[in-house]
Amino acid sequence: MKPKIHILATGGTIAGVSASAVSTSYSAGRIDIDTLLATVPQVFELADISGEQFCSIGSQDMNEAIWLKLSSRINSLLSGEDCDGVLITHGTDTMEETAYFLNLTVHSEKPVILVGAMRSASAISEDGPANIYNGIVAICDPKTRGRGVLCCMNNHLIAAKDVVKQHTTYLSAFEGGNSDSVGYVFGNNVYYQRDVTSRHTVNSEFSVEGMDKLPEVGIVYGYAGCSPLPFKALVDAGFDGIVIAGVGNGNLYRDLLPYAEEAAEKSVIIVRSTRCPSGPTSLDAELNDNRYGFIASFNLNPQKSRILLMLALCRTRDRARIQEYFLQY
Ligand code: GLU
């Protein structure tokens, strides 16, 4: 019997239409899931496929409200007998954030894979159909179970914790950042080269069922001579947590440091991450986190640190416990 796979379409370049096959300008999220699936009829030989137009946005417009609904929909689909896996078509801009949010809030061993495209559906050599096909091949493979949420782009299967969009336009835009991809798809075969060791899905303690909003967490970008004004604005607005995309190993400019220390004293949770494209932000490097009351993000980039901190703040404000989450997830 063929596996039953449900596709949730959210928009993005994969559903985008350009003025001509060679035009660089296009609008994301213009074609619906049925039209998109008609471009890759081969998937119906692999699985019983059903499609649902979940939303139609460019993923620059993704937000927490959609994440909460998406997570709840996937949990409900996967808890039934009629669905063996979920494929999500998604814009590439925030794909890594959606993947990581679902990795922590979907509680199933069944495969959940996100795919997108770097070229619109009407461009020469569009990559969307191949990414959809490869994503379906991966979901059909029993070895994909239990690996958490994955992104399938340009043949690579990349774990949600690691995946980063590291180039604005290349087909090879997606990489694993601090880790290699977990595997790859070639033809109708899936090859896994490593396991995912961080906690996710069935081993995640985070649940957002029934929630309609998340704690407010913002990101402040570090740079030479960094003004503390954006940081102060978030504190004054009552944000629960702030992630600092620090320089190097999560360092803060000297004018920002006292404000961050004061905010941490007033129980705003401050996470140090890095604007470097790769490498961990380690505990107690040039800054003593215990002294300042900060948390180090380790292998999470600022945008994924924000997601973990929002979920952590649904459970606790205890700094040591939140630091532990950053080590485990
Ligand atoms: N900005 C749009 C989005 O993220 C298009 C980019 C893309 O999908 O590659 O949905």
How far, in Å, from the CA of 58 to the mean position of ligand 1? 5
What's the pLDDT band for 29 if we cut at 50, 70, 90? Answer: confident
The residues pairing with 53 across neighbouring beta strands, listed in sequence order, are: 9
> How far, in Å, CA of 264 to CA of 292, rounded?
7
Residue with CA closest to ligand 1 atom 9: 92
**Residue whose CB lies within 8 A of the most ligand 1 atoms, among 54, 60, 118, for a mutation test:** 60
How far, in Å, from the CA of 142 to the mean position of ligand 1? 30
How far, in Å, from the CA of 315 to the mean position of ligand 1? 32
Q: Is residue 13 flagged as an active site residue?
A: yes
Quick: pLDDT tens for 141-200. 999 999 999 999 999 999 999 999 999 999 999 999 999 999 999 999 999 999 999 999
Quick: pLDDT tens for 37-65. 999 999 999 999 999 999 999 999 999 99
Closest atom of ligand 1 relative to the 29 alpha carbon: 10
pTM: 0.97
Closest atom of ligand 1 relative to the 118 alpha carbon: 9
Quick: pLDDT tens for 261-295. 999 999 999 999 999 999 999 999 899 999 999 99
User: What's the mean pLDDT in 315-324?
Assistant: 98
How far, in Å, from the CA of 59 to the mean position of ligand 1? 6
Ligand 1 neighbour 118 (Cβ under 6 A): yes
**Residue whose CB lies within 8 A of the most ligand 1 atoms, among 30, 55, 93, for a mutation test:** 93
Least confident of 41-50, 51-60, 119-128, 217-226: 119-128
Ligand 1 neighbour 15 (Cβ under 6 A): no
Closest atom of ligand 1 relative to the 11 alpha carbon: 10
Ligand 1 neighbour 59 (Cβ under 6 A): yes
Ligand 1 neighbour 91 (Cβ under 6 A): yes
How far, in Å, from the CA of 11 to the mean position of ligand 1? 8
Least confident of 21-30, 69-78, 116-125, 320-329: 21-30
Ligand 1 neighbour 116 (Cβ under 6 A): yes
How far, in Å, from the CA of 192 to the mean position of ligand 1? 27
